[in-house]
Amino acid sequence: MNPLIQLTGVTKTLKGQEEPRQILAGVDLTVNPGDSVAILGRSGSGKSTLLSLLGLFDRADGGQYLLNGNDITSLPERKAAVLRSAEFGFVFQRFFLLKHLTAAQNVAMALVNGQGWLPARKRKAKVMAALEKVGIAHLAKNKPTRLSGGEQQRVAIARALVREPKVLLADEPTGALDTETAELVIDVLLAATYSGCGLILVTHDRQHADRMARVLRLTDGRLSRANERVLT
């Protein structure tokens, strides 16, 4: 069976204000279905850059990216949009909910792709199922301004799950939450892996990282196994 994700020697150079800087200098990464991977690293080490390559927001300069065994290293944007919609779910540190939409409408947003929208009834069923999964179906009609931070992030996770993605990419999803709420969010993310979804979690929190099956560290543009957990 093909791994879900297989990166080999992926490089990325970003052109900053000054001279171009190589952020990723040959990243290798394999993720299987149901796998959960934590990525640690200093601020500015390139964790978000790596996620944006994985999520096809951007393309690598070199190396190879296989998704389900298919080479998508230099996929044209039109096809990338289709994959983003069909295969990936994203959760960000800031929740990025649209203020003018209700929780349900925010989730439904992810059901729009290049082809348009699902029919209204199917859409509604999927949205409610996703909200159910994160435990806030009862808040479906609320606008984000009337939700707590944890609730907002759970709406964002429902938005990521509503397409039933094969890969969940989470960039510091707990960064803006208190410890207890953060635990809850990690629970929800991990629950998705039980049904075969791959999870890649970028975090600064070692405890959250340790709940993942594997913990990697990004240093000098490369991924390596993180040190043994520090006992507290």
Partner 1 sequence: MIRMSGKFRSSLIIGGQGIRARKLRTLLSMVSLFLGVLAVIAVQAGGQVAEKAMLADIELQRGIDGTESLYLPQHEKTSQIVQETLQGKKGVSAFGSTQITIGEPNTTPLNPGGSSFDPRYSSFGGSGRYTTVCDASGMCYGKPVDEKQPPKGAAIELRTTTMIGDIRQFRPFRLVSGQWLDFDSAPSMSPQIVLNTAAAEGFKNNKIPAELHVQGGTKNATPRIVGVVDDGQGAYSATAYVRADELQNWAPAEAKPPAAAGAGKGAPANFGRSSGSGGLSSVFLAPGSEGIKQTLKARLAAAGAEVDGMSSQRTNPKKQMESMLNLMKIIFLAMASLVLLIGVAGILNVGLATVGERVEEFALRRAVGTSRMLLTFIVLSETLLTGLLTALAAIGAGVIGFEVAAMMLSGKLPALADMSFPWEAGMAGVIAGLVAGLLGGLIPAIRAARIPISTVMRA
Ligand X SMILES: Nc1ncnc2c1ncn2[C@@H]1O[C@H](COP(=O)(O)OP(=O)(O)OP(=O)(O)O)[C@@H](O)[C@H]1O
CB of 57 or CB of 181, closer to partner 1: 57
Asked if residue 174 binds ligand X (CB under 6 A), the reply is: no
Q: Is 36 in the site for Mg ion (CB under 5 A)?
A: no
Query: By C-alpha distance, which of 25, 95, 102, 92 is closest to 61?
Result: 25
* CB-nearer residue toward ligand X: 44 or 76: 44
- Please tell me whether residue 48 binds Mg ion under the rule CB under 5 A: yes
Beta bridge partners of 21: 14
Min dist CB 230 to partner 1, Å, is: 28
Contact of residue 76 among partner 1, Mg ion, ligand X, none (CB under 5-8 Å per partner type): none
β-sheet with 21-31: strand ranges across: 21-31, 5-14, 62-67, 70-71
- Which residues sit at the interface with partner 1, rule CB under 8 A? 48-49, 51-52, 55, 57-58, 77-78, 81-82, 84-86, 90, 92, 94, 96, 98-101, 105, 109-110, 112-117, 159, 163, 171
Contact 118, 126 (CB under 8 A): yes
Give the residue carrying structure tokens 């759970």.
154
Instruction: Report if residue 6 touches ligand X, rule: CB under 6 A.
Output: no
What is the maximum alpha-carbon separation in the chain? Answer: 52
| Region class of 194: left (phi > 0), else alpha (psi between -120 and 50), else beta | alpha
Taking the complex as a whole, the smallest distance from the CB of residue 61 to partner 1 amounts, in Å, to 14
Query: Which residues of this protein are in contact with ligand X, per CB under 6 A?
Result: 14-16, 23, 41, 43-49
